[in-house]
Amino acid sequence: MPEFWMYHIDTACLFRKAEYIFEFEGRRYRLIRGTDKEFDKLCTITDGSNKENEENHETTMRLLDYLAWEIGQPIRYIGAGGHGYHEGVITLETALISFFHGRTLRGLLVDVSRIPNVSDGTQRLALSLWNEAKYSNSPFLGFINYWKILELSPHGKKIKGKAHERAIKWINSVPSHRVYMGKEVEKTLDEEKIDLGTYLYDRCRNTIAHVTRQPILYSGKMADRNRIYRACWVAEDLAKYYIREELELKGYAIGLKIIKTRKRTSALKLMRRGKKIK
């Protein structure tokens, strides 16, 4: 029996069109822009088998990672649900959508038309880590995921040395105009007489990952939290530059196969206590 799947997603932006119907990796999707109070919805249909449902989930997560990279804004997966139906009863294009989740306000207006030209598994992993870091509300989690990107080896290349040592060396080779450190980070580097790569690894990455590593990190302390916030901004710039230059995800994006868009939609039906609210 076919199943209709709906993914709840949250973004820091507003999609330009009310609906998008498109294809990605052979699967047809319907993206519906949410309201000020409800999350966006990404819908698709499977044949109902466990195998296809698993493949569908992986493909959908990959799509979210790719879109997040292309629009430069995080896309957070909230949850998903599916239900079976008899063929011919509903279609992807006409199914009404039930909204249950509240959302945060958005400001940036974006369009869905292109995705990055991803060519290998390392690039896919990097974009997954980047999206996880970008939408995290925690600077500690965000920093760790950005650092993981810096330790990735380019696809098909065997590089000697430990991953963290390579990352430190690469960071220190990045031209200063490619990353904005900010006055506070620059001041810390001068006072401690330490390079940026070592600072990010020893003072940030290790203090997050190891509770006994000095200096001990206290997430409740404003000074410690601000220090990691500033480091996270630097790590984000470095990770983006690393993805483009070292993992070679650069050049032009590729177009999605857009089947239909709508400026307005009647699909949004708020379901509250069994009643439809317009």
Of 105, 98, 2, which is closest to residue 45 (Cα–Cα)? 2
What whole-number distance in Å separates Cα of residue 140 and Cα of residue 56? 31
Q: Which residues contact 179 (CB under 8 A, 6 or more apart)?
A: 234, 237, 238, 241
Q: Which residues contact 180 (CB under 8 A, 6 or more apart)?
A: 233, 234, 237
At 247, list the tokens: 């993992």
pLDDT at 248 over 80: yes
Higher per-residue confidence, 274 vs 220? 220
Peptide bond into 2 cis (omega under 30): no
Q: 173-198: per-residue pLDDT in tens? A: 999 889 889 899 999 999 999 999 99
pLDDT at 269 over 60: no
The values of phi and psi at residue 201, to 5°, are -80, -55
Of 39, 209, 237, which is closest to residue 134 (Cα–Cα)? 237
What whole-number distance in Å separates Cα of residue 201 and Cα of residue 180? 17
Q: 200-223: per-residue pLDDT in tens? A: 999 999 988 888 777 788 876 778
Q: Is the Cα torsion angle 202, 205, 208, 211 positive or negative in sign?
A: negative
Write down the pLDDT at residue 141. Answer: 93
Of 39, 13, 24, 37, which is closest to residue 97 (Cα–Cα)? 39
- Per-domain boundaries in the chain: 3-117+253-277, 137-245
Of 149, 206, 197, 202, which is closest to residue 172 (Cα–Cα)? 197
Write down the pLDDT at residue 91. Answer: 83
pLDDT at 39 over 90: no
pLDDT at 275 over 50: no
Write down the pLDDT at residue 251. Answer: 81
Of 58, 50, 41, 39, which is closest to residue 5 (Cα–Cα)? 41
Q: Which helix (H) or strand (E) holds 277?
A: strand 275-277
Higher per-residue confidence, 169 vs 54? 169
pLDDT at 150 over 90: yes
- Say if residues 206 and 213 touch (Cβ distance below 8 Å): yes
pLDDT at 274 over 80: no
**Beta pairing partners, 43:** 6, 30
Neighbours of 33 (CB within 10 A): 21
pLDDT at 129 over 60: yes
Q: pTM of the predicted model, to two decimals?
A: 0.74
At 85, list the tokens: 């139906």
Higher per-residue confidence, 209 vs 269? 209
What integer best gives the mean pLDDT of the chain? 87
Write down the pLDDT at residue 270. Answer: 47
pLDDT at 24 over 50: yes
Instruction: Summarize the confidence of residues 85-98 as an average pLDDT.
Output: 75
Q: Locate tokens 């032009």: which residue?
A: 252
59 burial (CB, 10 Å; 0-12 / 13-18 / 19+) is middle
pLDDT at 106 over 90: no
Write down the pLDDT at residue 101. Answer: 56
